[in-house]
Structure 1
């Protein structure tokens, strides 16, 4: 189990530092129902990661995804495809990054966050975790890695829980600052939001490129061994 956790920690950390969800939760905390909406958004995020990861565990079960403790060929092909996608996506992001970080623009949907109902806030967290093109490939890769390792079911679930916890730290940090930081919390979160908005594209481009190369290596290793 320790080796598997080592493999998925990088994916979890990349999801955790994904700037857009962090910016979204900071904006949500500034709404009239900030504490409630922040918790609902985080719960939706956790559910999205857990559901997508659980689906991958079910697909990449030991019976179908590994033989003699070795991942099946389709697992290697999946990692190869995800790695190629992340490398190309990262390179595209880097090429299109703003030359001047201060000119970076946030997605238009963020301007409507203060008008969303609690139910839609929860759904937004779910969607950003499970359906977002930046986070879903990392969760799929983590689920495939855990499911194809030949671990007992209890250890698979525990590994997925650790992945989800670490991947949620990026949201728990601003939520904790807001709830415990008092008067200085808004200024602190505002600074975080501004930095994440300016460097969102560059951060994700580098992370995707590095993790994509890792997945390419893992996929090739499975396919040729």
Structure 2
């Protein structure tokens, strides 16, 4: 189990530092129902990661997915494809980054967050976790690594739980600061939001490239060993 955790912790950390979900939860916390909606958004995020990871466990964990404690060939091919996607997407993001960080613009949907009902906030959390172009491939790669390692079911679930916990730290930090600090925390959260907004594209590009190369390397390792 230790080897599997070492394999997925980097993927979880990359999910945790996703700038857009962090900005979104900070904006949500600033709305009139910020306390409730912030928690709902985070719970939706956790559910999205857990469901996507569980689906991959169900696909990768059958006996034929791991031969002699070695991941099956299809797991290597999957990681190779995911790694290539992340590298190409990262290069595209880097090319499209604003030359002047002060010119960075947030997605238009963020301006409507204060008008969303709690159930839609929850659904947004699920979507940003499970359908995001960066988070979904990383979660799929983590689920494939855990499921194909030949671990007992209990250890698979525990490994996925650790992945989800680490991947949620980026949201738990601002929510925790808000719940503890209340109004006094708004200035701190505002500074976090401004930094993330200015550097969102560059941070995403670097993460895509670094994690893409890691997943690509993992896929090559599985296919050639």
Q: Where on the TM-score scale, by shorter chain, does this alignment land: which range?
A: over 0.9
Report the equivalent of 2:133.
133
TM-score (norm 2): 0.98
Unpaired segments ≥5 residues, structure 1: none
Deviations 1:18-74 (A, max 9, x none): 000000000000111000000000000000000000000000014131111111110
CA distance in 1, matches of 2:115, 2:37: 11
SS in 1 for 2:212: helix
**Which residue of 2 is the match for residue 165 of structure 1?**
165
Matches within 5 A, 1:175-186: 175-186=175-186
CA contact (8 A) 1:90 1:209 kept: yes
Distance in 1 (alpha carbons) for counterparts of 2:60 and 2:193: 37
1:202 matched to 2:202? The reply is: yes
Cα pair 1:94 1:202 within 8 Å, conserved: yes
Which residue matches 2:222? Answer: 222
1:13–1:167 Cα contact (<8 Å) kept: yes
Deviations for 1:96-148, whole angstroms, at most 9, x for unmatched residues? 10100010000010000000000000000000001111210010000001011
1: CA distance between counterparts of 2:2 and 2:70?
16
2-11 vs 60-69, which moves further = 60-69
Tell me the distance in 1 between the aligned counterparts of 2:182 and 2:111: 25
Q: Post-superposition, which runs of at least 4 consecutive aligned residues in structure 1 deviate over 4 A? A: none
Inter-partner Cα distance in structure 2 for 1:213 and 1:139: 16
Query: How many pairs are equivalent?
Result: 225
8 Å Cα contact 1:17/1:170 also seen in 2: yes
Gaps of 5+ in 2: none
Alignment of 1:104-123 (within 5 A): 104-123=104-123
Report the alpha carbon displacement of residue 217 of structure 1 after superposing the two structures with TM.
Answer: 1.0
Q: Distance in 2 between matches of 1:76 and 1:166?
A: 24
Question: Does the 8 Å contact 1:29/1:178 carry over to 2?
Answer: yes
